[in-house]
Amino acid sequence: MKLLIFLSVLGLQATSATISQIHIALAGDDGNGISNGMAVSFQTESDSQAQVRYGTSATSLTSSTSSTSSTYWSTYDHHAILESLSPSTTYYYQIIDGEDTSEILSFSSAPVQKDSVNFAVFGDLGMVNGDSTRKYLTTLAENKEIDLIYHMGDVGYADDSFLHLGCYTRFCYESAWNEFMNAMQPIVSTLPWMTMPGNHEADCHSPNCMLSKTKRDKLSNFTAYNSRFRMPSEESGGVMNMWHSFNHGPVHFIALDLETGFPGAAEETRYVMKSGGFGDQISWLEEDLKLAAESRDVRPWIVAGGHHPMYNGGRVDSKMQAAIEPLLKQYNIDVFFTGHVHSYERDWPTFNTTEIVKSYDSPGVPVHVMIGGPGNDEMSADMVKIMQELESGEKEDPSREPTEKWLLGLEEGSKDMIALTDTEHYGIGMVEANMTHFSFEYVQTTDQFVADSFVLTK
C-alpha cells in the first residue's frame, strides 16, 4: 500500500510537459483476427527516440518498446506498438522521452474469446459544445464500462478553429488539434479510440492556410489525421487510417472512408485542395466481408461505420448507395453507423430506399443509425441554447422525448424509413452485444437519459 502511494506521488511529480496527447488503439493480430497488441500514440515537441515501458503491474514495467516518429508540420507524432500481449489483461504503461516521463496509465488488452462487448459510438465530437459528452465518456472510462470507442469521423474540428475568437487570421489549426487531443487524453489513454475519417479531417482551409502554399500542401489530404492516429490497417489490409477493420468479442467492426473512398464521394470531387486517391476501398470491403462471413459463428455481428450517412432525413446519397449498399445486403451487415449531420436518426432496417423491414429480428438488411450530435462547433444554435439552459438548470427539458418534428417537412413517402430522430440534444450511442443480442441505446449526454433503443436478434 505504502509503496503504491509512494509511486503515485513519484508519478505525479514526473508528469511531463512535452509528452502530450496520449491515446491508444487496438493493434496486432493473433492469427485468428484478434488484436494482441496496442498502439500507444502521443506527441512531442521535438524529434526524439521515445520508449514505452509496460508490464502487468504498475510497479514493474518490465517490457519496453520504441516509438517511431514523424512530423508533417512542427510537432512529432509517435506510435509505439506493444506487441504479443496476453489477452484480457490489465497492462500499465509509461512513456519515457529523455528526461520526460508520462504518468503511469493502464488499459485492458483485447480478449481472445469473450461473448460480449460494450462500446460507445458517435461521430462529430469537437472541443466546443463537447463538454457533456467528454464528461460522460470520462465516467465510462473510469468505471471501465466500455471496451472501446468507435468514432465515425470529424475528430476535433481543428479546421473550424479560425472561427474562434483571436483565430480569424491567426494560424490555429495545429493548436486546436492539440487542444482537442489533450482534452481526450483522460478517456483515450485507457480506452482504444478507433477512428475513421470525416470531412473535417480533410484539410486546413482557414484563410491563414489558404493564403500559404506550404500550409495548403502540408495540411491537406487528411495528413494531420493520418499522422496523428495509428489504426490497424496493416493488420486488416486497409489503407492508413482511412479504412480498416478489427474484431472485439462477438463483433466484427469495419471502419470506412466515406469521404473519398468510392466513386463520387463528397471530398473526392473537389477542385480546391484535392484529396483522395487512397486506393480501391470497395474491393477491400468485399474481401474483408468475405473473411468476416467465414467467422460468423464466433462473431455473429458485423457493423460498418463511416462519416457520411447513406440515408438522412429521407434523402439518399445515391452514389454511396450504388457503391456499397449491395455489399451491405449481400453480407448481411447488421448496423451501418454514420454521423456528419449533427443530430440523431434511426432508420428501420432498409435496403435500396424502399425495402423497409420494420423488425429487429433477423431483418436481413442493415439498421442505419446516424449519431452526429455529441457536440461540436457546428451544432445548431437552437440546440446549443436548449442545452445551455438545461445544463445551467434554468429550464426543464422542453423536449424530453425525441420528436417527430423533423419529419413534418419531409415529402410523403421519403420519411417511411425513419423510425426516430432527435435534433435537440447532445447524444451518443451505447452498444452491448453478446452472441444473441445486439442492444443499442441512444444516450443524451447532459443527463444520461436513454432516449431511444433497439435490440437486434438473430
Ligand X SMILES: *[C@@H]1O[C@H](CO)[C@@H](O)[C@H](O)[C@H]1NC(C)=O
Q: Which residues bind ligand X (CB under 6 A)?
A: 221, 274-278, 326, 352, 434, 436-437, 439
CB of 437 to ligand X, least distance (A): 4
Q: Which is nearer to ligand X, 48 or 439 (CB)?
A: 439
Q: Which is nearer to ligand X, 83 or 280 (CB)?
A: 280
Handedness of CA 83, 222, 199, 333 (dihedral sign): negative
CB of 327 to ligand X, least distance (A): 10
Cell of 164: 474562434
CB of 252 to ligand X, least distance (A): 18
CB 382 within 8 A of CB 422: no
Q: Which is nearer to ligand X, 246 or 440 (CB)?
A: 440
CB of 278 to ligand X, least distance (A): 5
CB of 409 to ligand X, least distance (A): 24
CB 282 within 8 A of CB 304: no
Q: Which is nearer to ligand X, 278 or 426 (CB)?
A: 278
Instruction: Tell me, letter by letter, the H, E, C secondary structure of 353-372.
Output: CCEECCCCECCCCCEEEEEC
CB of 351 to ligand X, least distance (A): 7
Q: Which of 108, 119, 175 is nearest to 151 (CA)?
A: 119
CB 56 within 8 A of CB 92: yes
Q: Which is nearer to ligand X, 157 or 351 (CB)?
A: 351
Q: Which is nearer to ligand X, 66 or 269 (CB)?
A: 269
Q: Which is nearer to ligand X, 195 or 275 (CB)?
A: 275
CB of 100 to ligand X, least distance (A): 31
Please state, in angstroms and rounded to a whole number, the distance separating the CA atoms of residues 221 and 268.
10
CB of 163 to ligand X, least distance (A): 25
Greatest alpha-carbon span in the chain: 69
Q: Which is nearer to ligand X, 232 or 300 (CB)?
A: 300
Q: Which is nearer to ligand X, 31 or 277 (CB)?
A: 277
Q: Which is nearer to ligand X, 8 or 352 (CB)?
A: 352
Query: Whose grid coordinates read 457546428?
Result: 378
Q: Which of 265, 276, 267, 117 is nearest to 194 (CA)?
A: 117
CB of 365 to ligand X, least distance (A): 11
Query: Whose grid coordinates read 517511431?
Result: 68
CB of 263 to ligand X, least distance (A): 15
Residue 303 dihedral angles phi and psi, to the nearest 5°: -115, 145
CB of 156 to ligand X, least distance (A): 20
Q: Which is nearer to ligand X, 334 or 377 (CB)?
A: 334
